[in-house]
Every structure is written in C-alpha cells, then in structure tokens.
Structure 1
Amino acid sequence: MHIPKTLIRNFIAYFIIFSIPISSLVLFTHTKLIHQFQTTTYQLELSYQNNKMNDFDANIQQLESIASQIKFSKADLQDDIMSRIALQDQLRYHKALNNYLDEIILFMPDSNLIYAAKSTYTMNTFSQLFDESFSRLLNDMTIDEHSARGLVPLITDSALCFVAPYPIHSIYPYGYLIFVTIPERFLPFSDLPYALYWEDQLLLNHTGAPDIAFRTSMPEVQMDGQYCYLASASDGKGYSLLTLRNSHQTFENFYKTRKFFIVLTVFVCTLSTLLLSFCSYKNYKPYRYLKNALMKTGLITEKTAQSKSEIYQAIQTLDMLTRHNRLLDKQIIREQYISRSMLLNRLLNNQYDKLEVLNHSLENYRVTLDSAFYTACIFKLSQRPDENFFLDNPLYYAAYPDCRIYCTLEADSRICAVIGSSYTGNTQLQPLLQTMLLMLNQHQIDGEIYVGSCVNDKDQIHTSYVEALYKYNYELTPENRIHYYRPASLGNPVILYPQEELNSLQNALQAESYDKASAILESLRCQLSQDAFSYSMLKNICYEVFNIIYRDYPGIVSSGNRNISYYLSRLSKINTLDDALAFFELLRKTFEINTDNSTSSPDLCMNDKMERIQTYIQENYTDTDFYLGAVADYFNLSLNNLSQQFKRHLGMSPAKYITILRIDKAKELLTKTNKSVKDIALEIGYSDSSVFVRNFKNATSFTPVQYREMVRIPC
C-alpha cells in the first residue's frame, strides 16, 4: 500500500502540534491543578473541623457555666437535709437539660457522702458503682492542682470526664465537681478519625495510628504521602485536635474523572490529527492535478515542479489568470458601456416602439429611470477623452444623492447625458453640472454644457434632448460654459404660471357658476396656444386644471359622462401643445353636455347616450386592446346594462355590432389592398389572425383568401 508523503508529513506536523498542548495539559493536571484542588479541598475540610472545634469549646464553656451555678456550702450540706435535696434536684436538672452528660458528681474528700444526679453514695458504694480507675484518680487528685487548672479532662477506661474545683471560682475549694460525659454526643468530631490533645498530652486517639504524635509547630494542613493531617486548636482552653485524611479515598472520584478526561483528550486529539491529515491530503489532490495540468501545458517542467511546492505553482497560475480576468473585465465593461450608449441614444432620439421594452433593456445595464424629472444635456468637449473615462462616475452621488446621471459618448467628441432628479429648476442643477465640468478639467478636458428643459415623463426625454441639441447647433458659446434652453427667469412660476386663473376657476366651480368656469377654461386655452410655457409646465397646468375640476365639479363623474380613467388616459397622452389644447376643449364641452342633459328628457338622454356609444365604438374598434368592458367603464355602465340598452336601441348586441364593423372593414381592405391576412387582422382590431379568419368565415361563408380571389375574378 502506497502512503503519500504529503499525508505522512501532515500527520507528523499535526501530531507535534497537538502533542504539545496535550503534554502541557497532563503536566498541569498532575502538578498545579491537583495540588490546588487538594489545597482548596483540605481548606474546606479544615474549616469544617474548626467549626466542630468551636462546638467543642462551647460544650466546655457550658460545663463551666453549670459548675458556676451550683453553689451549696459544705456546712449546709452536712447539717441541712433540704440543701442536700435541693443540690440533688439541681444536678438532675442540669443532667436532663444536657443530653451529652451521663452523670454529675459532687465529691468532697472530707465528707463520707458523694452527691450525684442519680443518687447519693458513700465511698464504699461509690467504688462499687464506678470504675476502679475512676475512684483511684479521684483519690490521687489534690485540690490545689485543680484550683489552679480549672476544668481538667480526666480519661478513664470507660468514660471521658471533666473535673472542676468546687466551688469553681473559689480561692479555697473544698471539693470536686465531676462531669461524666458521653463521648459520642459531647465530642462533635467523633465521626472523624481524630486525636484529641490537652496541653500536649494525648487524651483520645481514634485515628487508627497508635504512634501518632502531636507537634505544636505542625501546620494546619500537612500532606504526607497518602495521608493528610489537619490540626485545630481551641481558644485558650489548651485543647488541640488532629484529624487524619486518606488522600486516595478523598480524591478517588477526582482521580477517576481526571483519568477519563486524559484518555478522552488523547483519543480526540489523535482522531482530530487523523481527520485533519486526511482532509489536508484531500485538499492537496487538486494541487497535484493542477501540477500535472501545468506540466502538460508546458507552463512548468518536472524540474521546476520538484523545486517548488504545488501551492506556489497554484498561486503563480492564479495570478496569471487574475491578470487575464482584469483585462477581460475591462473589455466587458467597455462593451456594456457601448451597448448602454446605444440604448440611451434610442431613448434620446425617440427610436423605439414601446418604452416599456426599452426601459427593461436599460435596467439590464443598471439604468433605472424612476426619477420625478428628467433633463437631457450635451457636453461639448475640447478633445476626446480616454477610452476608460466615464463621466457618470459615482463619486458625486454622495454629494447629490437625489440625482442619477447616465451618459453616452458620441463619435464627435461630445457626451450626451440624461439626468434624473427631483429638481425642476435650473438653479438646483447648477452645482451638479459644475461638478461634472470640474471632473472634465481634472482630465485636462475643457467642456461646455447645453441643457434642455426639465420634463416629468420618460416619453418626453426626446423633447429635452432636441432642445439641448438646438442650443448646441445654433447658439454661441455661453460665457459661463453652461447654457439652458429656458433660462431660470422664464421658468419662474411667479411670472408665467397662471395661478390667478386657476384660483378663479376653483372659485367659479365652488359657486356652481359653470358658464363662468367654461369661459375661464377658454381663456386658459388661448393663453396656452401662445406657446409661452415649457413642456413640463404645460403638462403641470393640465394636471392642475383637471385636479380642480375633479375635486369641485361632481358632474364630471355623474351617470352618462365619461369616467375618470378616460380623462387620466387623455392626460397621460399629452405630448404636444395640440394635445393640451384638445384636452382643455374636452373639459369645456363637459360643462355644456351636463348643462344640456339637465334640461332634456330621459328618452332623449338615452338616445343621445346610445349614439355616443355607437360613435365611440366606431372610433376605437380597430384597437387590438379594445373590448366591451372598456366601453362600459367609459360610459359608467355595467356590462349587462350596456348590452340590454344597446340591443334595445339597435336591435343587436354590441359584440355583434363590433364584429359587423370589423368584417365590413376587412372586406374593404381585402378588395382594395394587397395586405396580408395577418396585417388586415391587426388593422381591424384582431390580435389573433385565426380568430379573424373564423369570424370572417362565419359571416361570409368564405375565408378571407377565398373572398379576395372571388371578388377579383372578372365577370
């Protein structure tokens, strides 16, 4: 089996990379981490042990408090039996109150009686009831020794006792007060492996180590191999506590977890090393194929392939391909700019059938004509710019965010531009045009600008371009290098805009003086015919007049008149001054028609409406978009109502009437012209020639071709 060298090399590299942190982690785990964890754990254990030691000190203080509360004199006890009874009751009370006490004994060496909570004893009976060692220790004690030490621990074979002089705080004590405790209850740390010391003397050893020794200099925590010693001392009582911990038992779970973690880490790192090595080898394979391909093309040789690794060969190849791509991108951008220039020239020269198709084509070249106003301008240059120079540089879009400039470079060292903006005046466009001239000057090119008037419709960009072209061909060089077709003074709405006439029209309509409103419309029509307005202002005036009439004259949408869509359609088709004058004449006749309708009978109105419907159909049936719904909308009728009234008036349905008109027109064209059947179908209003042939045959029993051949055969 052949193992690639790249795979081996990657495996060794990744193994070294992963082995260093793993080794460091294992070393840290075995030294610092474990030591810190053990120290923290033992500090917590020592804190727990100190709390237990504090509880032990509290028990000692409780014993001292009990000893201070028992105050009966020796004479009272010898002579007064009631004092004896009271003493015994007090001893019983304190024993019952503290469950860790097994017995409380008052012993006076000079007396034959020994007083206890359970009963009163003599020396003979006391020695039989208690341990012999206990009696022997009592006989060996001296009062002076206990008066100096206070509460002294006493260990017998079966009990842990504490002996206090009686009275406890007296200068001359004459007896002993002995507290016999239950170690499991009195010692709070009895559940631990402990050794209890009093003044460096071992009292109890429950560690399991018989030779354990206590050193006053021993630190609080001492770790010695497998075992750890925790030392605690009481406050001024002379007691010390030493507990023993088995480190293996204490940290058994930790050792298991650490072992599992190390094994899992090693396994994961080894698996990661193998996976990375395999993936790197997989990624290496394309470079090997690239090396073989480069060797086949002759770009590299076997010698150079061995001297450099595949990655450097790939980088060199990609660098070469990148340079080719840059050149190709520049060529593509230049070709796109030329294609865009051709489409813009068609827009400027009005060389298109449908604006929507042209607009869609321009959008493919990132030319979006969605501004409120448009202006065409021509830049006359002193020299032809570099082929990589584009005047519609996006640098000035940041300064003029409401403008969009699309340019086309002509063959005669001039630039035609379409500027879309939200401005209608020359003064707002002046800074933008000056910036564009400054850009030309930075390329050592002198320029002059000829600007057409602002238009608000994409269909009228051609008009603005013609105006700019007129100034370019027939005007002298402007002094300020920017020349407008209509100066700013002429476009001032305060001077030419007929605001007074519009206000008068609104007042007349609100007063329902329609004769006066008709006269004002005629006056406005005469004023427009003087050609004192630009195209954009002309169309704005038409929209303003219609808005006033629509808002203040309800008769424009009443039954029997044209609907709003008709007027809006006529407004959108205003392209010339004659279109605007015809629209004003249409509005003026609206008042006359409604005035006549208000004085005529219902039958005359219905006949007049049917005649107008008939005329409307005769004028529009040749349109391929014409349909009966449009007729019904035009005259504010439902389609069913239109069919019933039309059939009652002419004796046939409107659909049949339209078919008769089209067939008659088709017969005329088949007889007098040589047009094809498809062209005739389009001319008479059929978008589908097959529908025309079917309807023609149903009406004449002949196809259009048969009918043409028949009528042209000489008799």
Structure 2
Amino acid sequence: MNKSRTPTFAKFLVSYMVVLLLPFLVVWFFLYAHFERVQTEQVYGSALNDLNQMKNIIESNINETYNMAARIAAEEELSPHYLQEFYHVYRSQKLLNYTTDNEFFYNVTYYVRNTDYMYSARTTYTLPIYYQLHAYKNWSYSEFASDINELKHPVLRPSEEAVIDGRNENVVTYLVPIPNNSASPYGTAVFTIREQSVRELFAPMVGEEGGDVVILDAGGRVVMSMADTSYVAEGVPEQLLPESGKQLVQPWQDGDRRLIVASNHSGETGWTFIRFVSAEQLMSPISKLRERSTVIFVLILVLGSAIVYSMMYMNYNPVKALKLQFQDVKGRLDKQRELNLPALQQYFARGLLKGKFDSRAMFNASAVEAGMTLRSASYYVIVLQWDPGGVNEAFLSSDYAKQWLAVLTEQEEGYYVEIFEHYKLALIVSEPAEACTRAGWESRHLTVFNRTNVQVAIGLGNPYRELSDIGKSYFEASTALQHRWIKGNHSVIMYREIDRDQPAITWYPQQELELLTASIKQGSTKAILSSVEACLDNIKRNSSSLFMARSLCYEVVNTLLKTVIAVQPNRLQSVVLPGVLSLTDLETFDKLEQTVMDISEEVCAQLSAAIEDTPSQDADKLLQAIYEYIGQRYCSYDFSVQRMAEHLSLSSKYVSSYFKERSGQTVSEYVNEMRLAKAKELLRTTNKRIQDVVMAVGFSDSSSFIRKFKQEVRLTPGEYRRLHAR
C-alpha cells in the first residue's frame, strides 16, 4: 500500500514545494528592492546634505566679503584723504585687523585707487612689492594693476599658483570694489584664500581615491578643486550640471571608476558645487545589504535545487535512459547530415542557376534543410576565374569560395556553385539591387586578394527581382568574364558596363605601323622594340572588342616579319611562331602582348645577327651613317643629297645609287616619308597651324606640302587633324 503511494506522494510534494517557494522568492525580491531603494535615497540625501553644508559655508564667507567691504567703506579713517598721513596709515592696520577679522581669509588687503600703497592688518606694501611678494603665475603685473584700479563689480579669480609666505601655493583671489555697487568706487579690497585651507576644511567630503569637490563660478570656470582630479583638467560634463537654483544627485561612470555625483546650483551667487564620491565608499551599506541578500538567495537556490534534482532523479531515471538512446540516434543522423550538407547545398544552388525555383518562398521552403535562405528581393550571379599558374596544388575552390562569402555583409546572403570548368567558380548573391556596385566589389576583390594572394577576374551579371532570372544573370556574368582578355586577369567586369553592340572599326594603328616600318629599315633594334611597345599600348587603349584587339596584334607581327624579310632577304633565320593550340591558351591581352614582345625580341636578335654576319660591314656602316644624317636633318630647309655627300666625303651620285640599292627607296622618297610621318604626329598631338607644321617638317611651301600629304594620305592636313584629333 505504501509502495504504491510513494511516487505519487513525492510528485505532489515537489509540486507543493514549488508553489510555496515561488511566492517566497517573489516577496523576497520585492522586499530587497524596497530596502535597497530606501537605503539609496538615504545615501543620496546624505551626499546632498554634506554638499549643501559646504555651499552654505562658502556662500556665507563670500557674503562676508561684502560686509567687510562695507565696513571698510564706512570707516572714515580708511578713506583716501585720511590715509595721506603716515599716522593714519599706522592706525589703518589696526582698523583693518578689526574690520576683517575672519580666519577663512588668509589675508585682506585694502588699496586706494591711483595710489602707490596697499594696506593690510599685517603691513603696508607698495603696489610692485605686493605683486613681487605674491608672484602670481597667471596674473601679469599690468593686468593686476588694471584690475584693482578699474573694476566696477566683484571679480573672482579661479585658483592659481602664487607665493604665500615664501612657498608656492594655489590661492583664490576675490576683488571687491569699495564702495560696492558704486558707480565710482575709490578703492579695492583684495581677499586672498588659501586653497589648502579650504581643502583641509572640507577634507571629509572628498573621501577615498577618486573623490573630489569642485566649485564652478557663474561662467562655468573652475574656481577650486579639492583633490586635483581629472574632472578639472578635462572639464566637468554638462550632464552633471543641475538647472539654475536646483540640486541633483546621480551615478556616473568615469573610465573604470563608479562615482556618485551630487551637484547644487546656487541661485544667490550663480556658483555650482559638485561633489564626486566613490560609489563603493558611499554605497557600502547597500553593498553589504546586497552581499547578504545574495548569500541568502544562493543558499535557498542551492537547497531548493538539490531538493528538486533529487525528486526529478527519482521520478525520471527510467526516462533518462530512453532520452540518451534518442540523443545517440539523433547525433548519428546529424553527423551524416553534416557530411552530406555541402552536396545538398550544391544541389539547390545549381537548381537556382537552372531556374527550378519560381519564387523565393518556394526556394526557402525546399532549401531550409540545407541551411539556405534568401531574404532580399534582388538576386544576381558573379563568376570567378583565376590563373591556374597562380595557385598551388593545395588550393581548394571550396575554401576559396568561403573567403568570398566571408566578405559579404549581414544583409547579404551568398552561396557558391562549383563549375565543372577548371579554375571557375560562381557565387549567387542576394542583396538590394542598389548595393551591387563596382566600388563595392572592387573593395571586396582587394580584401580577398590580400588574404589569399590569388589573382582572379570577376564577371558580374545584372540583378533581377524574379528568382527564375538567376540563370540569365549567370549567362551575363559569364559573358562579362570573357572581356578579361582586354580588362586583365585581375579585374572586376560588370555586364551592364560592357558594349554589347557590334562596334564599328573607327581606329587603325596606321601611323604606329609606319613608324615600326621605318625603324626596321633603319636597323635599330632598340627603336623596333620601342615601336612595337607603342603599337601594343595603343591597341590596348583603343580596341573596342576582343576580335579587334586580337586582329591588330596579329597585324603588328605581320608588319614586323614582312618588313624584316624585305630589308634582309635570305639572311634572316626562321623565327619560331606560336601554334594554333598555343594561341587558344592566350586568355588575356597581357599574355598576347607578352607573346608579341617575345616574337619581336627574337626577330631583333636574328636581325642583329644577320647584320653582323654581312660581309660588307663598311657598307653597312655607310648606310647607318646615311640614316643618322637624314634622321638629324630631314626637317631642315637646306637638306640635300649634295650636302649629305659632302658630309660623307662621297659623290652625290654614289650616295643616291647606294641608298637606292640598299633600302629600295630613293633619298627623296625616304625624306618625304619621314617628313610626312613627322607632320602626322604634329597634326595629331599639337594645335599648331598648318603653316607652322609645314615649316617644322622642312617643306618649302604649303601648297607642295598639302599636295604631297593628300597624295600619300588621301586626306588634306585639316581633314586628317579633325579625324585623328585627341
């Protein structure tokens, strides 16, 4: 009978204990909060009372200065005409001692304006001697003399360093005109207050480390600080200042120190009194109450927990074994799910690219098991492609994709798709359409490059609001990526920025190729390589399509080989050119540019070797001398074959026939070719008049120049300039 009732009894016992314990805890918390509030009010009230007491003492002594000034003004023997005799000066010391009998002030000095003396109960000073004895650090003598002679209303100087009894101390100086509130005061009372005396008077209020009492005047300047804390140096925060005529007490955090700040604004003087007290010092009674309450609460909690645990162990021990078994099965399933999660995510990501999901809700419902969701209403695809030579064998595209996902913001979702093509990766990004900017992706591009040191080209498709259009964005990103051939293998290419129309051929490097031909005929390998570099640079800058850039690069190679063979027939060894399969590997303009430069360097090397192997070395030197002479003087009006022959110590007939035989041109044809090339350059790059261009290139008159120019170029000089102006 008892055995059958014990489990039921225990369950009911625990239930009743919980019902009884819960109200007890609620009541206990309310009582604790009440006692803490009462104690806090008492502590805050005590802080304000101490501050009010200090305020009353300070205000009482400030008011006393007015009374002293009034008594000095009332004493006839302290009037200006009385103090003109030495005997009256002696009596004034006794009167001042009686009139200014207040220990709060270190010294009270009376000065009759526009005279040389200051009087105190101790002695009489001349104005310079008084200033020298006190040596104010921040009060110059001229300011001192001006203040005591001209002030109309009481003036308070905040605490500053001065000399008192031969020692440097901080003092507060209060100047009161005599008579006070008079339009024409005849004297000034100087009240000197030692800061140390005030500190000793109010030392109990400062308390432990971090405590301070600060007095601000009506203008917010610090009159005095009892402890020289950082609040004075950095300025008292405005939130600690009460309204006019009111008082305030509040907690305040100063770095790692917790303080209680009591402040009181005097409506009588306009001064503000602020007291900083360590919270630990002021709130120690509350801290003790909190500690004791916490101990009691913890004891009750531990005891109650032990009882509850014991009861639950007795009642739920059989269920525990079943729960552990379920957890073991769940753990194995979760582990298997984690292993299959990447493949599952790839399945859903590829489904997005293929347009299998018509709406965001449909995708989120299907992909929730893979941990994939799309929150934004705009989607786009980016395709990444990196140089296989720029990564090591341990490089994993999945790890690289995570680097890109890591630079997305919290408002963005991103998922990667492994593409079957080598060295490619796609990212599906969900974010607001306005966030898809070149600047944003260039910044991310730089961040990932700094982390991985992998150069990658990025193609960005347009953002779409329909989930079924993600496949279209993927196609656009792949199309944009193809322009890395011109943009470079480490660039960001947006589909909306590329020119998708078939561009017209508006530019051809005719002048650059002509200069290349002339350089080859001169036989200067340095000039040849420089011309090739100039051609490639202009092709890269002016090409409007992939096809145009490739074709013009091939044209440079064709011009190079054709001209070299024409100049050195049967003497140039065969140059190894890249095969068709090699050309398919040239995925960027930079690689094609390097290939063209390699061919050019090899051709120049073969050309140099052919020139060196030529038996008639003296003849080659003569040809070089002719080229050099023409290159230096072809723009001169007086250029002629006769002058050149005289310079070379040869006959003009021999020079003409020799040049024709070696170059395939007459001297006149070559000179005209050089002059026209120079004229084209000046027309393209300068704003000189046609007449100035004619003179610059050595033609005798404009008509002959224009006729030859049109015969060669099929355009007049003016038409040529308008067509090629930059």
Q: Which bin holds the TM-score, normalised by the shorter protein?
A: 0.3 to 0.5
Question: What TM-score, normalized by structure 2, do the two folds share?
Answer: 0.34
Question: What TM-score, normalized by structure 1, do the two folds share?
Answer: 0.34
Of structures 1 and 2, the larger Rg is shown by 1
